[in-house]
A and B are shown apart, each in its own frame.
Chain A
Amino acid sequence: MRLLALCAIPLVTALVVLGVPVFRGRRVPVALLLVVAAAHLALVISLWITPALPALGGWLAADPLGLAVLTLTSVLFLVTAIYIVGYLRYEAPRSGRVFAGGLLAFLAAASVVALSHHLAMLWVGMEATTLSVAPLVFLHRDRRSLEATWKYLVVSSVGIALALLGTFFLASAQGEIGRPLLLPDLIAHARELHPAWLRAAFLFLLVGFGTKMGLAPMHTWKPDTYGEAPSLVSGLMAGSLTSCAFLGVARITEVLAAARLVSFAQPVLIAFGLLSLVVAATFIIGQRDVKRLLAYSSVEHMGLLVLGLGLGGVGAYGTMLHLVNNGLAKGWMFLVTGNIVLATGSATAAANRGLARTLPASATLLVLGLFAVTGSPPFGLFLSEFTILRAAIDGGHAWIAVIILVTLAVIFVGMAALVLGIVLGTPPAPAGTARRIVPARESPWLIAGPIALAVIVLMLGVYVPGPLQDILTRAALALGGRGP
């Protein structure tokens, strides 16, 4: 019942917002967003306390893997909703209905993806996340966002179509065994599945969902999309959408692990992971726009996730921990970048200098976020990346550990160059250069969210709470690895 509510409440609200004429006009129904977000998070927390039974004949179920992604999504959504309260003081989206409707539809779709144990329904949810975010990406309706939206739609749609083909391949692998495309049945009968079709399914699902994740070489849409979309949308995408897409990859890996075919999957995963790391490092050097910078950072972290999965052993736990850490950190960074854009109109190095003076709170959070996202202690990402490194060394792949370290170092240098360049120095003269007046004080609504996320990430770097560790370990075990 609760599982159904988690999916249905945002969906129904979205339909109401889009359909009922009361909401016509430009005002965004922020109160509604906050209420739904709070209710969603409350339900998710209740799932932690008392687990729920599978619903819809086993199609919806909250297993550790799904619960982790669902919690991440819910937290990010609530923080974003709080942020929107402050955001609307300075910007008004052209259509409040579409803005709110898109966000709520995204929440519904992401919940479906996280809770779905029927792999075709997972696909439907994934496609729905793509489509619900698209109108949000071209909110600004200018040439650049239009171009970004077009590339996003085309590349994502092709990727999703390939993922659908992979899902059908999986059905072919299953044949008549067990209930079709249901995860528990797939895992239970994994060794009876047709190996050739299973391997083909894995490849297509990896490429398809990898496109949505933004793994190289299917990442080409990411910098443009994250760069042109409103920052809060980019934050949701980088934190939540990519995690949902990763869930798709994780599910098929679960099946392969149960079928003892991991040795086929691992080299492929490691290859994609390393490629993403290298590509991210290459393009971060000399990057002039913070949002695009964060997009490439997202590519890097997706690469790390897949790498951890491919390395196996404790790497699976590292991946799960990194999923949570990265999602929160990305949300944090994008929201802070949003503040910068609200103040100066652009996130590029050309338009921003000396933010430490003009936007002290945001600048501090930006610098702290720089350290967090690049994996410095004491933040949580350091712990998860270190775990993945450990997995590489444990598995005897020292060269992989070397590549990881080198690329991370390069990325740190590249990111620091841009961020510190923006934060330090003297601010330019206020006349003429800025698109809007710099707010003398940063609204608490705009700061509260990022601070909360920063605190969580900091805490996770020092101490992983028991229930969370338990969930992540169980997820790692399902993925063919082990706990810390």
Chain B
Amino acid sequence: MSRTTRRRLRQSGWDLLGLAVFAVVVFPVYWMISTAFKRSDDIVSLTPTWLPFHPTLSNYRSAMRMPFFWVDVKNSLIIVSVTVAISMGLAFLAAVALAKYRFTGRKLFIVLMIGIQMLPAAGLIIPLYVVLARYHQVNTLTGVIVTYMTFVLPFSVWTLRGFIIGIPRELEEAAMVDGNTRLGAFLKILLPLIAPGLVATSVFAFITSWNEYIFARVLLNDQSKQTVTVWLSYFLGTSKHTDWGALMAGSTLTAIPVVVFFLLVQRRIAFGLTAGAVRG
């Protein structure tokens, strides 16, 4: 066997392995989507049907007809958009401070922003529940919004800071020469430059809030007030006969906005957590 043939064979070996890994890793997602399009006979049959040969939308119809689906989607949308809007406004200012100024206490603030993100949500449910109960905010969307800000704010400050640092100082100085104050120059001329970063951070904040489960589960007990993740987790309910098709359709519906958004911003944000490590 010649050298090139051997090398080509080895390359094909690696590629085959890569394809096998791809198949295994992606399979659960494929299985969710294909089940959602199958007829119930094909779903419950003992010999699985690998492809939806008789595609149907009836699973989606029954998922959407489930009680509280639309109400809970609406709740999720309200909670997520208010959380993101408020957090971005506040976080942007703090991110400017971190990226463009040196000040006493800066380090402490950074420790706070990173440290808070490490707190396990489970450890916070009791204090948040008790305090929100004290102010009659349990079972209200406001209570959940406030809670979500505890993790969206630190994350957004840290990520936005990364985007602002990326802007060359010369641009800012040029703006200042034109007679603007530092902050004025920054807001007028550089804000447009950070817009993509703001969008990416907002989208990521949207995703984390949309996916959140434990706080919503603890704080909202009224079915008409719950979020879509809690709705999905109760889907199986108490019925003996599980409607897997509808469950998978509901899962697909819950995942779609997240997947679409994630694919859009993944490249921009994904490395935020470790960006420095890769570089330095």
A and B: partners? no
Q: Which residues of A approach B to under 8 Å, CB–CB? A: none
Q: Which residues of B approach A to under 8 Å, CB–CB? A: none
